[in-house]
A and B are shown apart, each in its own frame.
Chain A
Amino acid sequence: MIEVKNITKSFGDKTILHDVSAKFYSGKTNLIIGQSGSGKTVLMKSIVGLVRPEQGEVLYDGRDFLKMTDAQIKSLRQEIGMLFQGSALFDSETVLGNVMFPLVMFSKMTRPEMLDRARFCLERVNLTGAEKKYPSEISGGMQKRVAIARAIALNPRYLFCDEPNSGLDPKTSILIDELLHDITHEYNITTIINTHDMNSVLGIGENIVFINKGHREWVGDKQRIFTTANEALNDFVFATRLFQEVKDYIIANGQTSAPEKQS
């Protein structure tokens, strides 16, 4: 489990995150949602250590990331996998080379063992046969799957995904969502997904943290989101007519948990 407590982060005079606290559970797909510019990316970057918050705690199963030594951080990083918005695959490496990279850098496996592991990971994301291709030769959806394979190569305990569906068609987006959901449950990973894709929210949102203007406004799951009384969240999630109709249909058919009290 990852827990953030009272995270505050500013850039210059502008405070991006105001005293944000949240819990992200292992074996669950934890979603951070919010409008563009709401601070969700900064929150994720604060958790993984790409930016350093001015105050607060980031606890990885009780271990405070912000108080770790360099050696401890380096060790923890090998328990972390991350899927970037643009996949961030290494252009100069093949698909297989990308997946093998963390194994080559940090595992004590022999080369045949590394190859086996990399091929297993590629098989897990349904990408067998693309080993020798370069990232520029494969589609955006395939790049995302390679990035997932690379992220899980070292059997991470924590998986971070920044906008995993951006730039993908709806069908591929669903495939990526299902893959992340399945991997999370299969390996009991603490997965945190940063998204504003409503299909993801309603599809795999087992623990949802809503960030609005740098504040944590709401926490719940994909059932409770239909009955939320939070105005900002309602405006954000059910902004389109289609999702509003979906909400009305689900509420009318009683497929949600008990209505939430206005807070």
Chain B
Amino acid sequence: MLAWTIYISFLGAAALVLLPAENRRAARFTALLTALAGLVVGLTGAVQYERQTPSGDVVDLVHASWIPDLGIHYHLAADGVSITLVLLTGIAAVAGVLFSWNIQQRTKEFFALYFALIGGVYGVFLSFDLFLLFVFYEIAIIPKYFLIASWGSTRREYGAMKLALYSFVGSAMVLVGLIAAYVVSGAHTFDLLELAKHSFPAPFQHWAFLLVFVGFAVLAGLWPFHTWAPTGHVAAPTAASMLLAGVVMKLGAYGALRVAMTLFPDGLRYWQNEIALLAVIGIVYGGTVALVQRDIKFVIGYSSVSHMGFVLLGLMTLTQIGLIGAVLQMFSHGIVAGLLFAVVGRMIYDRTHTRDLGELQPMNLNALAPFAMVTFVIAGAASMGLPGFSGFIAELQVLAGAWSVFPRLTILAGAGILVGIAFMLRVWIKAFFAENDTPKQAVHLEPTTLPERAGAFLLLGTTVLIGLCPGLLLNLISPTLHSALFQPLLKGGLP
């Protein structure tokens, strides 16, 4: 069932290519339909999984031999963690289409690339064969490049190329690690579950873990490999920024958890402290840099680095609660960052043609674009991690997990949350609530459209829903992290 999320996306992309170029309406509705179908399949699959597999174990979706010469299988499977991220992808995809409703130029090509990316992302989350996972991971790189280079804004070609090369170099590191693991295990298989049973020699794990983890974490915005993130987010068109922050950064974090940490637990414990330190530096650094940016997209771009720092910190705690927090934070940040980018890119930039806080200040946006203002304020509150939103529970769990392992770093990370509140307040004040002596300019902004409202409600609703009933997702995530696959990971950490 869940495997259809992948196929639907690629079929949607193919259908979009075949549509006539003039008919933008058809392209938009095809895109919306594809995204909705993916989301519905994802939701159904999630409900089914939760009912049928209370143990949180891995459930096979498809398992067929693909390239027998190398022991490669077409193995799609799912567990609570991957289903959570599939749901995130589904929601982000629908919202992204809604916020791209106004794309006029080469509409069908835009959406075709968009769904090629989405299909690759679904594929990564559901692959349990490392070769297959890598294939999907690389498939996701190329559409990102073209989405940004063709439809982007500020320094788009630079941002796109930087992102593509960072991703490709990261995936090259991963590839070396995977091939080495395949050879060293001697098991003639790329199956994740099979390789996870193999205990690799410790010296090998030390370097292989670092290689694979960092390779994936490049995409998760691990400091100091995060520099693609702000430029990429700023250059990207709205929907692509939403996907980049919402989903693509999660590919990195997911890969780090699913592949690097699962295969090389000894290597993980060897580097645990160093990576936790980098994660906390990312939290504080990202927040501090966001504090002084003039372009709102840069603020959100750096805030993404900061929030993804929590994910990585949570992973490094190796505690039950920390890992749960990390996965929940992936989901939460995906929704909230997507929403923030949507407001800035679609509701503000497309109408005012500026994202510069200094230029927005005299515009009285709270009167001109009340819907944007309200959405941004709520989304900002969610991003700060206020109670009632999904981010609160996630960050709380990460910090609770981290407290028992790295008390000093936890204090720093807590300070990072304060910085997060500060930069968001600064944007609120400058963009929306500045006191102006200048008389109101006679600018009229195009009113908010229905697709924008629908997208905003979808994302806002999700973050509030998870904030109020976190059990909905925790019932998926928590049993999986208790399952056998994750036990070797948790043995080293505190209970």
Specify whether A and B are partners. no
Q: Hey, which bits of chain B sit against chain A, CB under 8 A? A: none
User: Which A residues contact B (CB, under 8 angstroms)?
Assistant: none
